[in-house]
């Protein structure tokens, strides 16, 4: 093969190198994008799984605020009425009253003032106890919701960091391909200049 043919072959090889650099950068960028998509998919699944707990905790927190009057007197009264009219309070109230009356009957004090006082004190005490119990139970749900929300937040931060790293990899891959193409192009251009110089020199020497 002549010198000119070898030079042309070198330029052709430069084109192949440029294509290879482009394909490599595209492959790296595509792999990074797959990683980004998977990170987002996993976060969405994680968030979806914890959503019932977060939602329940938020509702429980609102109910706690109602019980202690932070959402207004009307909301507080509605919350208290809900406990007082509930099946648990009514059942326990009936059982407690029956026990008081049974004891009074057995001791002959059914119509005494102590019996009436006991009956009058039992309902408010029972209601107060159940309200405190309700607040405590709601607090457990609030705590679960808070933990779930924190877990989603931490997962979001981790996902964001991972996606940022993968985006950096994408950028580096693209930039690397562009730099490689530029270098190969410069090499090919230099070869062309060298070829042109050889042609001019040969012409001056009378070869052509």
pLDDT in tens, 28-85: 878 778 888 888 888 888 888 889 989 999 999 999 999 999 999 999 999 999 999 9
Instruction: Return the ∠ at Cα 203 (arms to 197 and 204), rounded to 5°.
Output: 90
User: What's the gap between Cα 1 and its chain centre?
Assistant: 64
Rg (CA), the chain: 41
* CB 34, CB 121: distance < 8 Å: no
Give residue-wise pLDDT tens across range 99-142. 988 887 776 665 666 888 888 899 999 999 999 999 999 999 99
* CB 76, CB 67: distance < 8 Å: yes
How many CB atoms are closer than 10 A to CB 112? Answer: 12
Give one DSSP letter per residue of 18-36, joined into a string.
HHHHHHHHHHHHHHHHHHH
Structure tokens at 98: 């029956």
90 SS3 class: helix
Domain hosting residue 131, numbered range: 3-204
Q: Which helix (H) or strand (E) holds 39?
A: helix 3-67
Query: How many structural domains compose the chain?
Result: 1
Task: Supply the mean pLDDT for the chain.
Answer: 79
Percent of the chain whose pLDDT exceeds 70 = 70
Structure tokens at 96: 């407690």
User: What's the gap between Cα 12 and its chain centre?
Assistant: 51
Question: Which region, left, alpha or beta, applies to residue 61 given φ > 0 means left and ψ of -120 to 50 means alpha?
Answer: alpha
């Amino acid at each position: 093969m002549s010198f000119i043919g070898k030079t042309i072959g070198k330029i052709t090889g430069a084109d192949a190198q440029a294509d290879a650099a482009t394909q490599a950068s595209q492959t790296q960028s595509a792999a990074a994008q797959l990683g980004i998509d998977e990170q987002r998919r996993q976060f969405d699944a994680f968030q979806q799984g914890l959503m019932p707990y977060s939602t329940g905790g938020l509702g429980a927190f609102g109910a706690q605020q109602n019980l202690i009057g932070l959402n207004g007197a009307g909301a507080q009264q509605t919350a208290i009425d809900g406990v007082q009219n509930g099946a648990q309070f009514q059942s326990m109230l009936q059982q407690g009253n029956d026990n008081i009356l049974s004891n009074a009957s057995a001791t002959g004090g059914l119509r005494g003032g102590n019996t009436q006082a006991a009956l009058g004190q039992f309902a408010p005490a029972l209601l107060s106890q159940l309200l405190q119990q309700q607040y405590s139970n709601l607090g457990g749900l609030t705590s679960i919701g808070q933990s779930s929300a924190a877990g989603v937040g931490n997962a979001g931060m981790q996902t964001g960091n991972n996606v940022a790293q993968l985006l950096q990899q994408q950028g580096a891959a693209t930039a690397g391909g562009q730099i490689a193409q530029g270098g190969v192009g410069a090499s090919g251009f230099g070869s062309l200049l060298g070829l042109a110089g050889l042609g001019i020199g040969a012409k001056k020497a009378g070869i052509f």
